[in-house]
Chains A and B, each alone.
Chain A
């Protein structure tokens, strides 16, 4: 039974504010963060909830993001439910501790308003920060709307804290595009959220009565075995994520999957994009179908672990895949999303052509016309029988 409508609160919320409400309802024990645009509202709003006595959590303001994530690891180690938020340079300053959080198996929820990395300094959206941390061991979920940001933040705790997972989760929203854009958000009543997220049951907490050592030295003899454990844990994520989402769907009627497909079944060309670009891509697919081009869209939500086999299945017999992505891996064969997609499709019976378009760096707008340009180029490449490994679109060159 979904929660009845009269118990749902509907508010106009930015993506950041929606996440702050999810954190308020998730009954955190500790939130430690350092302010950085465009994430600031998350912590600002949460601090207000704390000042007004609406939450019991200990809010720890720190002198840097390195300390913020370190405080989160410490709090998580004693068994607390913990969250933080950051973006861009702040996320980059957490770098060392991101790996510690994941390797020490701390189920921290890390909300990120994705923003470009310096230099030049830029406060707007792209996915450089999220893609930079993609090998840290965090689960990564990228959201398209304020509603999805709220929903995903709540689900993230259940996913992270599940005993078959025990890994930190990054919940990403596009900086400014979602973080500062007011949308209609449906919020669950507090008691339903409490029931849904439950209380964290730590597996091996720090406890003075049962002393243990966490994060010790492991050299050539044991280190590799701990990485094997970590790899096994992240492979459990798709199964647990589905269980969590099924439970959430029963409450709300909403679900997102590891990715969303739109008109892919008969598509010749499939656009693969993440986050807010998904909405634009769907509008473009509709318009191009009116023109006679069979275009579909895969909007990827879960980047880590990458749903390799499911993506291959969803692409099916499409002739081409046009990847649109907001990050560069300088000097790589192609860029982060396309690298994954190419790998996923390598074993396909009829391997489709893959075009990779790097767009929107530093918040450069990605309007529908950019997608149309990419799809038109992909059509040309299909005719020619070959495509470049990648190209940039929407840049003056």
Chain B
């Protein structure tokens, strides 16, 4: 962000497709999602995934290896909107203030 006016493309044009990945929106977050494996249906049997479907930033990371299901967040992009917590049918996600 230190470039001068003559070091950036004309008129705000984005000449590198997909470079929004470089824009780490995690810094916007006021609250972070806290996830509990015990009650999560994905961790339990690889079902549900509502948080993954609804996350607007692809920040919910669901993985499966050798029949074991793991749950994580990509906090570089999670804006802390809380949609995942709202959608979770088993109340396995709650939001906690970043200032804590």
Chain A residues with a Cβ under 8 A of chain B: 103-105, 166, 203-204, 211-216, 218, 221-223, 225-226, 228-230, 232
A229 contact set on B, CB distance < 8 A: 5-6, 10-11
Q: Contact residue range for chain B?
A: 10 to 19
The CA of A176 and the CA of B15, in the complex, are separated in Å by 45
A225 contact set on B, CB distance < 8 A: 3-5, 8
B13 to chain A: closest CB distance in Å?
Answer: 5
Q: Say whether B12 faces chain A, with CB atoms less than 8 Å apart.
A: yes
Closest 5 CB pairs of A and B: A228-B5, A213-B14, A225-B5, A105-B11, A218-B12
Partner of B11, one of A211, A221, A226: A226
B15 contact set on A, CB distance < 8 A: 204, 212
A105 contact set on B, CB distance < 8 A: 10-11
The answer to whether B11 and A214 have CB atoms under 8 Å apart is yes
The answer to whether A216 and B14 have CB atoms under 8 Å apart is yes
Q: Say whether B67 faces chain A, with CB atoms less than 8 Å apart.
A: no
B17 contact set on A, CB distance < 8 A: 211-213
User: Which chain B residue shows the least CB distance to A225?
Assistant: B5
7 contacts between A and B (CB under 8 A): A105-B10, A214-B13, A221-B1, A222-B8, A226-B11, A229-B10, A229-B11
Between A166, A203, A212, A213, the greatest number of chain B beta carbons within 10 A of the residue's beta carbon is seen for A213
B10 contact set on A, CB distance < 8 A: 105, 166, 203-204, 229
A223 contact set on B, CB distance < 8 A: 12
* 8 more A-B residue pairs beyond the given contacts A105-B10, A204-B15, with a C-beta to C-beta distance below 8 A: A211-B17, A213-B13, A213-B14, A214-B12, A216-B12, A225-B5, A226-B5, A229-B6
Chain A contact residues: helix, strand, loop or mixed:
loop
Given contacts A229-B5, A232-B5, contact A222 B13 (CB under 8 A): no
A104 contact set on B, CB distance < 8 A: 11
The answer to whether B14 and A212 have CB atoms under 8 Å apart is yes
User: Which chain B residue shows the least CB distance to A100?
Assistant: B11
The answer to whether B12 and A222 have CB atoms under 8 Å apart is yes
B5 contact set on A, CB distance < 8 A: 225-226, 228-229, 232
The CA of A229 and the CA of B6, in the complex, are separated in Å by 7
B7 to chain A: closest CB distance in Å?
Answer: 9
The CA of A204 and the CA of B12, in the complex, are separated in Å by 11
The CA of A218 and the CA of B12, in the complex, are separated in Å by 7
Complex interface residues of chain B between 11 and 29 (CB less than 8 A to chain A): 11-15, 17
The CA of A222 and the CA of B10, in the complex, are separated in Å by 12
A215 contact set on B, CB distance < 8 A: 11-12
User: Which chain A residue shows the least CB distance to B7?
Assistant: A225
A165 to chain B: closest CB distance in Å?
Answer: 12
B75 to chain A: closest CB distance in Å?
Answer: 22
A301 to chain B: closest CB distance in Å?
Answer: 27
The CA of A166 and the CA of B10, in the complex, are separated in Å by 10
A232 contact set on B, CB distance < 8 A: 5-6
User: Which chain B residue shows the least CB distance to A106?
Assistant: B11
B8 contact set on A, CB distance < 8 A: 222, 225-226
B29 to chain A: closest CB distance in Å?
Answer: 18
The CA of A104 and the CA of B6, in the complex, are separated in Å by 15
A232 to chain B: closest CB distance in Å?
Answer: 7
The CA of A213 and the CA of B14, in the complex, are separated in Å by 5
The CA of A103 and the CA of B10, in the complex, are separated in Å by 9
B10 to chain A: closest CB distance in Å?
Answer: 6
B16 to chain A: closest CB distance in Å?
Answer: 8
Per-position 1/0 for B30-59, Cβ under 8 A of A: 000000000000000000000000000000
The CA of A211 and the CA of B6, in the complex, are separated in Å by 22
The answer to whether A204 and B4 have CB atoms under 8 Å apart is no
Given contacts A226-B5, A232-B5, contact A103 B11 (CB under 8 A): yes
A222 contact set on B, CB distance < 8 A: 1, 8, 12
The CA of A340 and the CA of B99, in the complex, are separated in Å by 53
User: Which chain B residue shows the least CB distance to A102?
Assistant: B11
The CA of A22 and the CA of B42, in the complex, are separated in Å by 68
A350 to chain B: closest CB distance in Å?
Answer: 38
A100 to chain B: closest CB distance in Å?
Answer: 10
A78 to chain B: closest CB distance in Å?
Answer: 13
The answer to whether A212 and B11 have CB atoms under 8 Å apart is no
B14 contact set on A, CB distance < 8 A: 212-213, 216
A211 contact set on B, CB distance < 8 A: 17
The answer to whether B9 and A204 have CB atoms under 8 Å apart is yes
